[in-house]
Amino acid sequence: MDGDERSGDARDSQGPSQRDIQAMLGDVNSLSREGMQRILDAILDLQNIDAVGADGERITATLSSEDLSRILTVFGAGSGGHGAAELVSHEEEDDEEDAEYMDEDEEDAEEDDEAIYYGSGAHTHWDRNREWWPEITEPQEEGLSLLINGEFGRVQHQLKSRKGQRNVARSLFNRTLSARPTYREDIASDILPNSSGTAVAAYSANAYVGQFSSDSAFYYTCVRNFRLHVYDMKAPLKPPTPLGFQHNDDGHATSMEVIKTIQAAPGRWTITDSHLSPDNQRMIYASISSTVYMTSTLDSSTEQTPISFRDPAPQRGRRGYNMWEEEDQFGIWSCKFSADGNEVIAGGSSMIFVYDLIADKRTVKIAGHTDDVNSCCWADTASGNVLISASDDTFVKVWDRRSLAATRKPSGVLIGHTEGITYVSAKGDGRYVISNGKDQILRLWDLRMMRSNSDFESVAQQRYGIPHFDYRGEAYPRPRYKAHPLDCSVMKYTGHEVLRTLIRCHFSPAETTGQQYIYSGSSDGRIHIWSLDGRVVQVLDRSQALSMSFDPSGPDPECIHPLRVRPCVRDVSWHSQEPILMSTGWLGRRWGLSEGSIIARHEFKGLSKRKGGLEDWVEQQTAERAERAQRRSQRSGMPGSFDTEGGSDTMDSSDSEYPKPQMQLSPDTVLPLDVDLKSYGFPQGYFMLRSYGNGRVLDVSQAFDEDGTPIILWPASDTSQVESMRRPESNNQVFFIDTSGALSSRSSGHAIDVEKEKLFLRHRRPVSLPFPNAYSHPLPRFVYHPETKEVTVVFASDPSYPTSRRDSTSGAWKEKTYYLTSVPVRKPPTLIDNASALLNTAMSAPLALFGKAPASSTPEEVFDGEIDLTENDLAEQDRTEAEEIDDSPDWLRPVKVVALTQEEAAGASEVARARRQWEVLPLRLSKHRTGMPSQ
């Protein structure tokens, strides 16, 4: 009992308590004068006011209807009638019987949550999964009955799966032994997408829709910059280039094959919905206007057909979308083709429409809701007579077109949500529907259990949600009701967040899963997949998604750095034939402040997505058991430390079951290398290399990890040298010496190789004969000389890798020293510079401007045997004073390996020697001397 209840008990002897007044309120339905007088007397008694005047007469007062309304509001009853009074005037025993009602001692927290809607405060954080909707770990009875009734997949497979008797490998093997065909569902229903995703497309604006076509041949998106993109899902993904995937002028980059990009008609704010026709030939889209546009998808035509839902509907002609007419009367939020592609259903500002494309007219208009219709669909794929609409008024309504002529009332209402509904999706059989609600619950409905229209009208004016709740915020306050008192939903699915935008939900494909799963996006970046029995069977975290440079079907890297901001996943789509999901994620931190979105591809990744099969994996684990034990014993060591005394990285051939193969080496091979075999002058552990010539650090371009990624010089992306204070995104500028002695990148773990004087990231390659060659050769070793601050490169063989002895330069390459150096870049000449050069030429040869000079020169005088080279290709020893200038405003600088004799190295200019000098910046574990040293 709280303090308010104790003070009420103390006043029992003085007058009526607040509970007594609440009891009186229940008797004032007729608003009689006697009832009003009882209320006034009770208020006077509670305020300790003497109800008898000086003349001995009792004080009386006249109450108007407005006075009574204010009094009822003070006591929580309001003027809403039965529903409003029910919220606060239940007796204590009634409250205990209502499982959906929150006790009064929790109202203070709810009041704090309400207050922030009028200011800028933060929501009170509370654990919804623990306090309100606990995680479902056991199958629910209602959901199990759905799975075994034969309407959601094959019952026999469901029973075997429940008993743990599923075996995909055995099912595949038995296909050749059975006379009956093997159902695709028996094999694919238990194989779910389980990867966090790999980016396959990126936009500079928020993407609102991302869906497969019905046959999954296409994937289409619509973006807030009024662009619609259609992709070919049958074409392979494009491989990444060394510079990555380039963004178009509209900020679009993708590794998928683009069929068509459509510039949408101007609308309000964004494209809210789009849909492909069943034959994939046409697409419709809505943009919060009263006109839905239809365009083709396969041809290059830019013509778009407006479909107007205004009243009266104007004649629809074929014209360009740029013909903007009078101001729209309402906005369309959702639109869908019918199963035959001949009709379009649309929902907007409290209304539902149907447009007949064959008859070219609007056939249905229903003012069916009191708030925006966020989503609508067809209940079945056969007749097209049953329509479903979901609105911000918290109700899902079912309409039968065959009865609309007699009444404009719905055939039934699905009641259960306490907040607005963001999306509704039908199974397609005319029975089952799912909806996502802003009350953070996804509900499954059976149309046979819907409430009658009379039941709906009895509660239509009552509200059970959170007052003034705005779903576009970052949190959901503690609600007062778990569900509507007339909740008729079959199942509830929780765990996701429906905030910031209209999050969408769908049934899984029928052909591969029997539609036994339900999946939804979430504003916290986690895609949820539920079984119909209520359990969450898979959660895909979009914050762990890989960049576009990775292969979505390849193995995941060992180290994945999550995004700092969790993307908001608005839409998700499941491939109809394969265990693949495509998700649409927003990258902005908060709604409306920043934009950008990424489309991610989620696949099933098991042993088939790893290098080798199950037998190879077992054999590899056995062979590496001893190596893993040695690594565990040396776990405290850092990369670059070597055991030079007793350690050996090669196996004794006598202990091996097979004889050690003899490698055929070239006569020019120099083994062993005459260098320090511990860390080659570099510090043990991680470090950065900064050029004295331009102050830039060695950098793996674009942080890629593909074989052949160029190594460049780039300004430092992180100013700290303390491990705990550095950002993981800057690891592409950090290097180490690995156990084989090769200079390696921290971000990818791959070694650095030299090819034609330039540095590249190199994956391990198999040995090919004759060894060595340009493809297969020992990695060079980089050696740092602290006394001269130079980095030299030691090769095991001729770095030109001649293809034959005729092309070989014998041992001439051994007489040179290979230095790592930066390359200067000149500022490109301006228009003034070019004009000045032209005038100088005119002054030295005036006839060259006005006529042709006599040709008195010989060919030998015209061509001296030299050609113009780029600054990167120019020999280091041949640079003039002007070519030593490094004044380009670009951040990028090339880096290469130059071969110099002892005389050439000694005769280099001071600027050239500075470009060959490097500063090693080791990373530290403590905060001593934080920050990059001054240049």
861 falls in which pLDDT band (50, 70, 90)? Answer: very low
**Whether residue 333 has pLDDT greater than 90:** yes
Overall average pLDDT of the 1-9 stretch: 39
Q: Omega into 312 within 30° of 0, i.e. cis? A: yes
Q: CA 330 to CA 291: how far, in whole Å?
A: 9
Name the residue with higher pLDDT: 884 or 363.
363
Mean pLDDT (the chain, rounded): 77
837 falls in which pLDDT band (50, 70, 90)? Answer: low
Q: What are phi and psi of 506, to 5 degrees?
A: -150, 160
**Whether residue 813 has pLDDT greater than 70:** yes
**Whether residue 411 has pLDDT greater than 80:** yes
User: What are the structure tokens assigned to 8, written together?
Assistant: 């009420």
Name the residue with higher pLDDT: 129 or 649.
129
Q: CA 285 to CA 376: how far, in whole Å?
A: 14
**Whether residue 268 has pLDDT greater than 80:** yes
CB atoms within 10 A of CB 239: 9
630 falls in which pLDDT band (50, 70, 90)? Answer: low
Overall average pLDDT of the 257-281 stretch: 92
Q: CA 724 to CA 702: how far, in whole Å?
A: 23
Overall average pLDDT of the 10-28 stretch: 44
Percent residues over pLDDT 90 in the chain: 43
Q: CA 105 to CA 116: how far, in whole Å?
A: 20
What is the reported pLDDT for 884? 77
61 falls in which pLDDT band (50, 70, 90)? Answer: very low
Name the residue with higher pLDDT: 673 or 730.
730
What is the reported pLDDT for 33? 53
Percent residues over pLDDT 70 in the chain: 66
User: What are the structure tokens assigned to 697, written together?
Assistant: 């650090």
CB contact at 8 A, 265 and 323: no
Overall average pLDDT of the 85-92 stretch: 35
**Whether residue 618 has pLDDT greater than 50:** yes
395 falls in which pLDDT band (50, 70, 90)? Answer: very high
Which stretch, 206-210, 663-667, 831-835, has highest mean pLDDT? 206-210
HSE-CB for 851 with a 13 A CA cutoff: 4
**Whether residue 664 has pLDDT greater than 60:** no
Alpha-helical runs (H) found in 786-829? none
**Which candidate, 900, 670, 661, places its Cα nearest to that of 794?**
670
104 falls in which pLDDT band (50, 70, 90)? Answer: very low
What is the reported pLDDT for 188? 82
What is the reported pLDDT for 155? 75
Question: Which range among 257-266, 546-555, 682-691 shows the weakest confidence by mean pLDDT?
Answer: 546-555
**Whether residue 233 has pLDDT greater than 50:** yes
What is the reported pLDDT for 239? 87
Q: CA 439 to CA 419: how far, in whole Å?
A: 5
656 falls in which pLDDT band (50, 70, 90)? Answer: very low
**Using only C-alpha atoms, what is the Rg of the chain?**
37
**Whether residue 866 has pLDDT greater than 70:** no
Overall average pLDDT of the 510-528 stretch: 94
Q: CA 695 to CA 911: how far, in whole Å?
A: 13
Complete DSSP assignment for 210-277:
EEE-TTSSEEEEEETTTEEEEEESSSPPPPPPTT-PPP-TTS-EESSEEEEEEEPPP-SSS--EEEE-
532 falls in which pLDDT band (50, 70, 90)? Answer: very high
**Whether residue 826 has pLDDT greater than 50:** yes
**Which candidate, 631, 646, 634, 638, places its Cα nearest to that of 682?**
638
User: What are the structure tokens assigned to 801, written together?
Assistant: 């890798």
Q: CA 376 to CA 338: how far, in whole Å?
A: 12
**Whether residue 92 has pLDDT greater than 50:** no
**Whether residue 583 has pLDDT greater than 60:** yes
Q: What is the 3-state secondary structure (H, E, C) of 330-347?
A: CCEEEEEECCCCCEEEEE
Q: Omega into 710 within 30° of 0, i.e. cis? A: no
**Whether residue 736 has pLDDT greater than 90:** yes
Overall average pLDDT of the 639-664 stretch: 37
Overall average pLDDT of the 264-280 stretch: 92
What is the reported pLDDT for 117? 37
**Whether residue 665 has pLDDT greater than 70:** no
Could you say which DSSP state residue 142 is in? H
**Which candidate, 325, 594, 348, 503, places its Cα nearest to that of 317?**
325
Name the residue with higher pLDDT: 767 or 589.
767
What is the reported pLDDT for 40? 58
What is the reported pLDDT for 260? 93
What is the reported pLDDT for 638? 37
Q: CA 829 to CA 813: how far, in whole Å?
A: 37
Overall average pLDDT of the 692-701 stretch: 93
Q: CA 284 to CA 278: how far, in whole Å?
A: 12
**Whether residue 858 has pLDDT greater than 50:** no
Question: Which range among 40-44, 82-86, 488-492, 801-805 shows the weakest confidence by mean pLDDT?
Answer: 82-86
User: What are the structure tokens assigned to 685, written together?
Assistant: 């552990």
Overall average pLDDT of the 445-463 stretch: 93
**Whether residue 428 has pLDDT greater than 80:** yes
183 falls in which pLDDT band (50, 70, 90)? Answer: confident
- List the end-to-end C-alpha distance of the chain, in Å, as a whole number: 70
Overall average pLDDT of the 389-394 stretch: 96
**Whether residue 535 has pLDDT greater than 50:** yes
Question: Which range among 62-71, 116-125, 371-380, 453-462 shows the weakest confidence by mean pLDDT?
Answer: 116-125
What is the reported pLDDT for 836? 67
**Whether residue 653 has pLDDT greater than 70:** no
Overall average pLDDT of the 669-694 stretch: 72
880 falls in which pLDDT band (50, 70, 90)? Answer: low
Name the residue with higher pLDDT: 770 or 493.
493
**Whether residue 62 has pLDDT greater than 60:** no
Tell me which residue has tokens 């008993």. Answer: 163
Q: CA 544 to CA 600: how far, in whole Å?
A: 11
14 falls in which pLDDT band (50, 70, 90)? Answer: very low
Question: Which range among 16-20, 92-96, 419-423, 708-712 shows the weakest confidence by mean pLDDT?
Answer: 92-96
Overall average pLDDT of the 871-875 stretch: 53
798 falls in which pLDDT band (50, 70, 90)? Answer: confident
Q: CA 192 to CA 513: how far, in whole Å?
A: 9
pLDDT tens figures, 556-574: 777 777 777 789 999 999 9
**Whether residue 623 has pLDDT greater than 90:** no
Overall average pLDDT of the 379-401 stretch: 93
Name the residue with higher pLDDT: 276 or 9.
276
